[in-house]
Amino acid sequence: MHGRPRKAPKPEDEAASTAKAQKLRALQSQFFSFHHDKIYTKEAVELSAKLLEINPESYTAWNYRKLAVEHYLSQPECNPDSVKSVLDDELRVVESALRQNFKSYGAWHHRKWVLSKGHSSINHELRLLDKFQKADSRNFHAWNYRRFVAHLMNRSEHDELKYTEDMIYTNFSNYSAWHNRSVLLSALLEKKAEGFLLKENVLPEEYEFIHQAIFTDPDDQSGWFYNLWLLDQTVTTDSPLLVSTWPTHGSDVLILRDGCQNGSSFSPFTTLHSESGSFPIVLYFNQPVEGVNSSTVTIECGFNKNGYLLWEPLSVSNSQAAQVWVAHLKFPTSELDSSVEVSVGHSKGIISTRGFQYCHPSSFSFNVHVQPVEKDSFQVSVAESILWREENFKVYSAQSEESIPIATFDQLCIKDGHDSTASNWRTEALAKEVECFRELLSLMDCKIGKLTLARLLTAYDAMSFPFANKLVHSEEVLKLYNDLMKLDPTHHRYYKDEHSLVVLQKMTSSKESLLQHCFQYKDSVSSVIANPICLRLNNLSLSRIGAFEKLLWVQMLDLSHNELQSIEGLEAMQLLSCLGLGHNKLRSITALEPLRKLKSLRVLDISYNQIGDHSIDTTRYLCSSPLSHSVGSELNTDETVISDAALVNYWEAFYMFKDLKLNQLDIVGNTIADEKFKSALVKIMPTLKRLDDELLN
């Protein structure tokens, strides 16, 4: 175990092991006979005890004893004294089994079951736990059982908190004690117990406490994990916030009914083409919420008289809670100029997954202009394709009055305002932590210290400049992650992902920096692009994408020549019509699942990835599969299509692409892209006009 070479067993040890195995087989044979015949005599029950003393992991034997107890308790001659005697015997059997293996799941579970009957004394339990925790103070079974016993005894969280403190002072490396402390503190803060009413009074003391452990032994991970929990408690607000929307507050949205922009005076950033007669309204919260509906989100406009909208959570896992919600607002076919006002949270009902109400009612308004375009007034060429080549893009020269429509929390009309004083203590706490860990790193080269400092600086910038979107420490954070990739190559991928997120946050921190990545697609018009502005985030060595709350306006996105293995979160970009993902490291079709939520997507380039290289799809545990009930039923609803043998062999492609209305798809350069697969794609997507830059019949 743990790299130690096994020693050859001695002859006497082999003989003892053989004898033990024979005894165990004999016991098991007799026990299973009793169990099968439902025999609960004293002899049979004692035999199960002998079996558990040898093998405490026999779940069947524990279940048998439960059945035996229930059988005895149902007898008419049963009285309170005999009930207590029977249950005390069960506790003795459990204690005997725990001496053999004090990490036995079955034994601890059985002990809980016995005590939950309410006939046994619990005064002995804490003394028993002390024995086991002296043998192994990090036994999480014992800590879990201690929480159970403390609840039965009505023991206060304050007393239990003091106990964890004593255990930590005995051994700073006791991760289980730190974890138990976080559980207790969470409960005390949630119920606002006396002395724990405000985080700002509790968490600074905890930071001081954890510093003693970290500075005593910086190489021990237990204290660092607790510090990470404290950081999360510091930066996470209880009540969810609406941080971004599309359309943005005060914007003018031009909707082209049948074609592309043709000499319009409107900004290309707020011009879109709609085939469906509707456009999306997107709400982006800082944490997953549920309860977004027409009762909690109201809309006032001249062309939607009843104000009803169907809100959909943009969750790849099909959860009813999501960070991003979308509704589609239908507009008339005739020319239109109208204002729209959206009010969020003025009626209660929006709740975070942690159970907190949305308590910052807000509103935003925008103007909608619908402009029908005659088909003769623009070019619609099926033969034309979107080519992601350098020569097809030129730097976008913005007009002086134009700016990218990025919505932030400060632009929303917040009822009762936002309490900025509530975040002052958070900023001060983070500033002290930054100073503390800079001091630590000046004394030693500690990789987990570097990681913590990078997280602290990122959180500090987000907390200090929530409206200005400043990233004062971005260069320092990027350097820390670069150092970590060299110091700790085992976790290179994680550091690379975090590095990528900081790069994107830096790029989107201001409209000026984001404009540097905005390019105009070639002068020729295309029927799939109303907005010829392309956000080019290519060749940046990105392994992860983020900052989606700043990118809701994007219709054409170039992410080619990066290192992406996942596009998680892309479903928030509901306006996307053209997406370039060529030359990345996408490993499977199921890695594309966020695209299923992008109803406006018409052009997709996934060429030169690694789709089909790997026989095992490592993304399936994150994505849906035919083994899940939801997808299985979905596949069966279209029997006329899926009955085709070619599609049965490509269920992932059928599931991923069947609801998309792609006009153009590039998949060349992937192992899976043979002629059979391409034929299947053509059957799955009848709207497809171009495949790998070849015009289809």
Question: Using one digit for the tens of pLDDT, what is the confidence trace for 318-344?
Answer: 778 999 999 999 988 778 888 999 999
User: How many Å apart are CA 433 and CA 240, to the nearest integer?
Assistant: 25
Band of the pLDDT at 377, cuts 50, 70, 90?
A: very low
Per-residue pLDDT, averaged over 9-14, amounts to: 68
Q: What is the pTM of this model?
A: 0.83
| Single-letter residue type at 160 | E
User: How many Å apart are CA 288 and CA 281, to the nearest integer?
Assistant: 17
> Cα dist. 588→333, 502, 656, 657 in Å?
41, 26, 11, 13
Higher pLDDT pick, 275 / 466:
275
Residue boundaries of the structural domains of the chain: 20-195, 242-374, 385-406+508-523+532-697
User: How many Å apart are CA 666 and CA 684, to the nearest integer?
Assistant: 15
Residues near 287 by beta carbon (within 8 Å), at least 6 away in sequence:
236, 240, 323, 352, 353, 354
Lowest average pLDDT, out of 127-136, 472-481, 611-620, 676-685, goes to 611-620
Higher pLDDT pick, 641 / 611:
611
CB of 64 within 8 A of CB of 50? no
Band of the pLDDT at 645, cuts 50, 70, 90?
A: low
pLDDT of residue 27: 85
pLDDT of residue 624: 46
pLDDT of residue 534: 92
CB of 57 within 8 A of CB of 28? no
Indicate if the pLDDT at residue 567 is higher than 90: yes
Per-residue pLDDT, averaged over 246-267, amounts to: 74
User: How many Å apart are CA 282 and CA 576, to the nearest integer?
Assistant: 13
Band of the pLDDT at 295, cuts 50, 70, 90?
A: very high
Helix 59-73 with 105-115: angle, nearest 10 deg: 20
Query: How many residues does this entry show for the chain?
Result: 697
DSSP secondary structure, 481-497, as one string:
HHHHHHH-GGGHHHHHH
> Cα dist. 412→244, 360, 365, 684 in Å?
9, 10, 9, 42
Domain spanning 385-406+508-523+532-697: which CATH class is it, in words? Answer: alpha beta
Lowest average pLDDT, out of 130-139, 306-315, 517-526, 540-549, goes to 517-526
User: How many Å apart are CA 644 and CA 73, to the nearest integer?
Assistant: 60
Residues near 620 by beta carbon (within 8 Å), at least 6 away in sequence:
588, 590
Band of the pLDDT at 1, cuts 50, 70, 90?
A: very low
User: How many Å apart are CA 519 and CA 684, to the nearest integer?
Assistant: 33
Question: Using one digit for the tens of pLDDT, what is the confidence trace for 437-455?
Answer: 999 888 888 899 999 999 9
| Single-letter residue type at 157 | E
**Residue of 239, 229, 441 whose CA lies nearest to 353:** 239
**Terminal C-alpha separation, the chain:** 63
Percentage of the chain modeled with pLDDT above 70: 85
Per-residue pLDDT, averaged over 121-131, amounts to: 84
Q: Evaluate whether the domain defined by 20-195 bears CATH number 1.25.40.120.
A: yes
Q: Is 425 exposed, middle or buried (0-12, 13-18, 19+ CB in 10 A)?
A: middle
Phi then psi for residue 85, to 5 deg, are -65, -45
Half-sphere exposure of 486 (CA within 13 A, CB side): 6
CB of 313 within 8 A of CB of 321? yes
Band of the pLDDT at 93, cuts 50, 70, 90?
A: very high
Of these ranges, 139-148, 419-428, 462-471, the one predicted with the greatest mean pLDDT is: 139-148
pLDDT of residue 469: 57
pLDDT of residue 340: 93
Phi then psi for residue 153, to 5 deg, are -85, 0
Higher pLDDT pick, 108 / 616:
108
Indicate if the pLDDT at residue 472 is higher than 50: yes
pLDDT of residue 422: 55
Name the token pair of 508. Answer: 């989107």
Band of the pLDDT at 140, cuts 50, 70, 90?
A: confident
Higher pLDDT pick, 629 / 567:
567
How far is residue 384 CA from its own chain's centroid?
39
User: How many Å apart are CA 149 and CA 112, to the nearest integer?
Assistant: 9
Q: Is 421 exposed, middle or buried (0-12, 13-18, 19+ CB in 10 A)?
A: exposed
Name the token pair of 121. Answer: 């004394």
CATH architecture classification, 242-374: Sandwich (2.60)
Instruction: Give the CA-trace dihedral at 616, 620, 626, 632, to 10 degrees.
Output: 180
Band of the pLDDT at 625, cuts 50, 70, 90?
A: very low
Band of the pLDDT at 117, cuts 50, 70, 90?
A: confident
- The pairing of beta strand 413-414 with beta strand 694-695: unpaired
Count other Cβ atoms within 10 Å, centred on residue 168. 23
Could you give the 3-state DSSP secondary structure of residue 126?
helix
Indicate if the pLDDT at residue 646 is higher than 80: no
Could you give the 3-state DSSP secondary structure of residue 136?
coil
Helix 11-36 with 59-73: angle, nearest 10 deg: 40
Indicate if the pLDDT at residue 628 is higher than 60: no
User: How many Å apart are CA 172 and CA 290, to the nearest integer?
Assistant: 40
pLDDT of residue 398: 64
Band of the pLDDT at 348, cuts 50, 70, 90?
A: very high
pLDDT of residue 247: 93
pLDDT of residue 162: 92
pLDDT of residue 382: 47
Question: Using one digit for the tens of pLDDT, what is the confidence trace for 27-41?
Answer: 888 889 989 999 999
pLDDT of residue 402: 58
Higher pLDDT pick, 648 / 232:
232
Name the token pair of 100. Answer: 């053999």
**Do 242-374 and 385-406+508-523+532-697 come out as alike in CATH topology?**
no
The percent of the chain in helix, strand and coil, each rounded to the nearest 5, is 45, 15, 40
User: How many Å apart are CA 383 and CA 41, to the nearest integer?
Assistant: 84
Question: Using one digit for the tens of pLDDT, what is the confidence trace for 398-439?
Answer: 654 456 777 655 566 666 555 555 568 888 889 999 999 999
